[in-house]
Amino acid sequence: MSALWTSAEISAAVAGQSSGDFAVTGVSIDSRSVEKGDLFIALQGPTFDGHDFVAAALQRGAAGALIHRRPNNLPMGAPVIEVVDTMKALEDLGRAARGRTNAEVAAVTGSVGKTSTKEALRSVLALFAPTFATTGNLNNQWGAPLSLARMPRDTRYGVFELGMNHAGEISPLSQMVRPHVAVITTVEPVHIEFFASVAEIADAKAEIFDGLMPGGSAILPFDNPHFDRLEAKAKRMGARVLTFGAKDGAWARLTDCQVLPDGNDVTAEIGGKKLRYRMAAPGRHLALNSLAVLAAAFALNLDLDHALPAFGAVQALKGRGKREHLHIAGGDLELIDEGYNASPASLRAALNLLGTLPTAFGGRRIAVLGDMRELGQAAPDLHRGLAPDLSAAQVELAFLVGPHMKGLYDLLPDNMKGAYRATSDEMVQPLIAALKAGDTVLIKGSLGTRMAPLVEAVRGLDRNASRTTGNGH
């Protein structure tokens, strides 16, 4: 593998002093996941100090380390580069990576759908040329510069996810990434605890335009109530605006979406041209976001007909709609793993998909839902407001977890009440006891509500190795 960085290049980028010559093939900020050849950057946080793990990282195979103090257990002659502040050095290395490449770059943000949209865009662009994208959801003040620092110099297209839960967080990331195309998937009451209104969330998302390259494009959700606000900011920053949605007037407009068990059949009109394509992941919300992906590809001057096959290969991610057929006592069960995170918009989309799809084995639709976090004073109403969605999805049993879900549970008809528990650990036993062959089980909740134990408990019923099927959100 060719070098991602040499020690001389790193030293020049971060104004550091190197102990000697070395080269790295990757960059890591977590000693537990360091791979052979990595540069380990010892960040200092409020509850940890990466300098305590430099020696361990080198033992695991790191080719070198970035430090701002020498740990006591650091071997003599260890390959290190010393800087004033490793966090600033990480940012400087990210900027240097962005500056040395001729890549055309897209940045993606939004209240929901960021990661799935980023993955779909990565798949589309990779059909045309070498493409690099954020791994997982490394989208914050550490993740964005880390992702940039990992971008190979010969990258042709880069795709970066930018996230936030407070105002002012996306602007510096955008100015670091410097996108040619900026995508906003949607604006919803997510992290509303930290904002006075959803309009303020829109303003925070619109910070993605602060780093837009001259002549760049903004891809905006035409159907969103805050579209005008987003468009005004994009135009102030000199962006060309392309819109996507289902309403008349959208530049990329969804005209039909047949949601099938193993994907979507999509018909769209994009820039006046009619396109039909197949998506491997089912869900109308994913079809809408595919229009944002195609608009971004168009903004990068790519042939959309050539881009379409990519959607047939984009699979749902673990925790974000991955569907699995499990072989349990008496037959089969389908698990829809949405356990990574939850917001009102994403939970409604997941319930809508559960209700739209025929149950794989003809049994019951079961929803296992955990608290949605960071909703502030609106939390009780936003949780109770899901009752009609459960009914519309034809959910037969609901198992609800967390203090806020108690209000929703109390609203449900008695025949829909599976169980309520304050924590996911307490829910394992009643959920497992209630499941039977034929059921389709959706599990979704915020990361802090810890739905993973429930996902693992259901997987534990599988008598064989799990077999992944179609996909969701």
Q: How confident is the model at residue 319 (pLDDT cuts 50, 70, 90)?
A: low
Mean pLDDT value of segment 74-98: 96
> 15 in helix, strand or coil?
coil
Q: Find out whether 172 and 207 touch, Cβ atoms under 8 Å.
A: no
The whole-angstrom separation of Cα 278 and Cα 40 is 42
Alpha carbon distance 205, 139 (integer Å): 13
Nearest to 223 by CA among 247, 254, 199: 247
Strands 131-133 and 157-161: parallel
pLDDT score, position 266: 97
Burial of 153 (0-12, 13-18, 19+ CB in 10 A): middle
Would you say residue 114 has pLDDT above 50? yes
Is residue 372 within 8 A of residue 189, CB to CB? The reply is no
Concatenating the DSSP letter of every residue in 350-408 gives HHHHHHHSPPTTS--EEEEEEPPPS-GGGHHHHHHTTHHHHHHTT-SEEEEESTTHHHH
What does the pLDDT average to over 18-28?
97
Percent of the chain with pLDDT strictly greater than 70: 96
Provide the mean pLDDT of the chain: 92
Q: How confident is the model at residue 190 (pLDDT cuts 50, 70, 90)?
A: confident
Residue 317 pLDDT: 62
Compute the average pLDDT of residues 333-337. 90
Which amino acid is residue 316, in one-letter code?
A: A
The ranges assigned to domains in the chain are 5-86, 101-312, 322-471
Find the mean pLDDT for residues 167-181: 97
Write out the two tokens for 33. 């996941």
Specify which residues 443 forms β-bridges with: 337, 368
Q: What is the pTM of this model?
A: 0.83
The alpha carbon dihedral of 422, 472, 342, 151 has a sign of positive
pLDDT of residue 318: 65
Separation CA 374–CA 454 (nearest Å): 22
Give the pLDDT confidence score for residue 345 in this predicted structure. Answer: 83
Given a contact cutoff of 8 angstroms between Cβ atoms, the answer to whether 284 and 473 are in contact is: no
pLDDT at 187 over 80: yes
361 versus 249: which is more confidently predicted?
Answer: 249
Cβ–Cβ < 8 Å for 146, 120: no
- Dist CA 294 CA 288 (whole Å): 10
- Compute the average pLDDT of residues 103-118: 94
**What is the structure's pLDDT at 470?**
42
Q: Which residue has the higher pLDDT, 140 or 184?
A: 184
Q: Tell me: the pLDDT tens digits for 405-432?
A: 999 999 999 999 999 999 999 999 999 9
29-81 per-position pLDDT tens digit:
999 999 999 999 999 988 889 999 999 999 999 999 999 999 999 989 999 99
Superfamily (CATH H level) for 322-471? Mur ligase, C-terminal domain (3.90.190.20)
Q: Which two tokens stand for residue 89?
A: 């050095």
pLDDT at 468: 43
What superfamily in CATH does domain 101-312 come from? Mur-like, catalytic domain (3.40.1190.10)
Q: What is the pLDDT of residue 55?
A: 96
Q: Which fold has domain 5-86?
A: 3.40.1390
Q: Indicate if the pLDDT at residue 473 is higher than 60.
A: no
Cα distances (angstroms) measured from residue 144 to each of 37, 52, 113, 134, 257: 21, 23, 17, 8, 34
Q: Residue 327 has what pLDDT? A: 92
450 DSSP assignment:
-
